[in-house]
Structure 1
Amino acid sequence: MADLPPNLQTERLTARAVVLGERLDTAGLEREDAISSAPIAFRQGEGLVVVFRYGVVVMIGLAPLAEDEVLRSLASRVQGPVAEREEETIKLATREDKGGRPDGIVRIGAPSYDKLLVAADAVAKSAALAADERQVAQVFDTIEPWARRLAETGRSPGGRRAMTRQIGSALLVQHRVGARVAVRDKPDLLWDRPDLERLYARLEDEFELVERVEALGRKLDLIGETVTVMTDLIDTERSLRLEAIIVGLIFVEIVIVLIQMAMGWRPH
């Protein structure tokens, strides 16, 4: 693997992850001098860029202007761009600190591309989780007034279609976390570099990836159960209204027949 540029050998490095959209088309990004092909990673000036297909790009050791240039260059490859980009940043220390581990800084020891790729994987997953957590929070903000109205009035709110959309949003988050981002899966790099598992474990603990996935799963289950109950209530109320309309029509028909009979009309 190629030697690190001086900018990636400094005592402090910043890894910035940005969620650009649902997916990133990585076709054509492969280079002969690529650092990695899965995920695609390449040098950009004196820094490192790592592109994840699930819509996240991680930039390490880049100046703000260089980061903006990277984001602009990837804009045409974004599928399902997000309205508000989620970002996550982590500080990396490339040497041991005698004074102890500073808050918010992960020590990786002597820097290497493999270590930076492991850090990029963790921070990218954390950013993707943050975006999903925000989307789930928005779903909860929508469901809460429905539940409050049900508790206060005993009536389910209208709008089965709106509830169905919320179910769709929850399913998209569930699919993203489980199938695309695969937060629970370790980087493929660890198969070849098992010595880096301790570093990934520290990063996993730093971002609380497992705990956040479990919490997100519980919230998704709760959303599914809540919306299902409410849609069932709406369907039940609609069925009762339909039955009432049918009974009313039958009653009206009986009244008409009785009136006609009272007026001397006889059906043939």
Structure 2
Amino acid sequence: MGYGVVCTWGLSQLREQEVVQLAKKCAEEPLSMEEVEIDQFQFVYSVHDPPSMSNDSITINRRQAADHQVKLAICHALAQSTKLCVYEERVIDLVMSTKHLPQHMAEHGTVRISAKEVAQLIGQVFLQRSAVNLLSSVLDTPEFFWSAPDAMQVLYERACEYLELETRVEVLNARFEVGGAHHA
């Protein structure tokens, strides 16, 4: 997938690791080990239930078990969610590394870092903000759904709702708005 994410279904842990290692060798900018994000879902086949997601479990109807488009529709949402997790973690790390600054400024009227360090922190904020803005285009509905049956897009949209993609992007952008207000 174009997100730099690997989705696998039903592989052994060893096989999965082999696939991930191969993908890392092909990556232009592989993530550091600290940034690697792993989401795991269980999946089951059902005789009666339509495809759905709940409680980190994916249900696929047995009649659709051989239809790769069903898994691909779900994979797009999972990949987007996993990619979003990486950016959420980066923003949390940035907030945690600077959270002492407003408190110190409130108590003492100054901060104990140089102007250069302040400029570097602001630069980091802008880099993450622009990365999240670029991520928004990654979170658009993939081209796959332009030619896929409508039911696949509905499944994708349900998966996106379950993974709360839209809300998470809004929260992430809101964190930057609060940060931007302080730097204005």
Q: d(CA) in 1 for partners of 2:59 and 2:138?
A: 22
2:8 is aligned with what amino acid?
A: M
1:220 equivalent in structure 2: 176
Moved segments of 4+, more than 4 Å: none
2:58 equivalent in structure 1: 106
The structure whose residues are more often strand, as a share, is: 1
Q: d(CA) in 1 for partners of 2:136 and 2:26?
A: 18
1:234 equivalent in structure 2: none
Is contact 1:177–1:183 with CA below 8 Å preserved after alignment?
Answer: no
- In the TM superposition, what whole-angstrom CA distance separates every residue of 1:157-201 from its partner, at most 9, and x where no partner exists? 432333333333333333333325635411222211222222112
CA shift, 1:80, in A, is 2.7
2:93 equivalent in structure 1: 138
For the residue of structure 2 that corresponds to 1:87, the secondary structure is coil
| RMSD after superposition | 2.4
For the residue of structure 1 that corresponds to 2:39, the secondary structure is strand
Q: d(CA) in 2 for partners of 1:102 and 1:53?
A: 26
For the residue of structure 1 that corresponds to 2:29, the secondary structure is strand
Q: d(CA) in 1 for partners of 2:172 and 2:135?
A: 15
CA shift, 1:141, in A, is 1.1
Decide which structure has the larger Cα Rg and report it: 1
Gaps of 5+ in 1: 1-51, 230-268
Q: Does the C-alpha gap of structure 1 residues 189 and 81 become closer, same or farther in structure 2, counting only changes over 3 Å?
A: closer
Quote the sequence identity (%): 24
2:178 is aligned with what amino acid?
A: L
1:123 equivalent in structure 2: 78
Q: d(CA) in 1 for partners of 2:88 and 2:114?
A: 24
**Any residues of structure 2 matched to 1:1-268 within 5 Å, and which?**
52-83=1-32, 84=34, 85-95=36-46, 96-97=48-49, 103-109=55-61, 110-111=64-65, 112-180=67-135, 182-192=137-147, 193-226=149-182, 228-229=183-184
Q: Does the C-alpha gap of structure 1 residues 101 and 151 become closer, same or farther in structure 2, counting only changes over 3 Å?
A: closer
For the residue of structure 2 that corresponds to 1:68, the secondary structure is helix
**TM-score, normalization by structure 1:** 0.59
**TM-score, normalization by structure 2:** 0.82
Is contact 1:190–1:197 with CA below 8 Å preserved after alignment?
Answer: yes
Q: d(CA) in 2 for partners of 1:91 and 1:77?
A: 27
For the residue of structure 2 that corresponds to 1:54, the secondary structure is coil
CA shift, 1:221, in A, is 2.0
